[in-house]
Amino acid sequence: MVLVTVIAILVYNQGSLPNPNAKEACKAFDSCLAAANAGYSNNYKVKPGCGSCYRGVGTCIQKHASTCNCADMQYFIEKKGFDDKDGNKGYEVNPDKAVAFRKCIEGG
């Protein structure tokens, strides 16, 4: 029963897996995105039904902008309707720049 539960959790949280090919300078940023359910195993898309995750992506960008050149707004777009009471905005990877973003994370 425990194994089934663990497998179910792993399948549900695939967006939470960090990119094993992330360049050293961006590993923390990549892990932050994964923790916000916007990880590489979900093509850096926020998992459906996770509105707070869009704000989590914004927090990751702010937190890692000085250490990872990929934590740059050129790769992201604002997700409308996800502002919180403090004015923090929600973000997601721009679909038109998703390939370039992944290459950036992987150092390509």
Q: Which residue has the higher pLDDT, 79 or 87?
A: 79
Calpha distance 75→89 (Å, rounded): 15
Token pair recorded at residue 59 = 């927090």
CA 49 from centre of chain: 15
Q: What pLDDT is recorded for position 91?
A: 92
Cβ atoms 37, 9 nearer than 8 A: no
Q: At 85, is the pLDDT very low, low, confident or very high (cuts 50, 70, 90)?
A: confident
pLDDT tens per residue across span 5-31: 333 344 444 457 899 999 999 999 999
Q: Residues with Cβ < 8 Å from 10, sequence gap 6 or more?
A: none
DSSP state, 72? S
Domain that holds residue 23: 2-106
pLDDT tens per residue across span 18-64: 999 999 999 999 999 999 988 888 889 888 888 788 889 999 999 99
pTM for this prediction: 0.81
**pLDDT value at 88 more than 90:** no
- What total number of domains does the chain contain? 1
Average pLDDT estimate for 71-92: 86
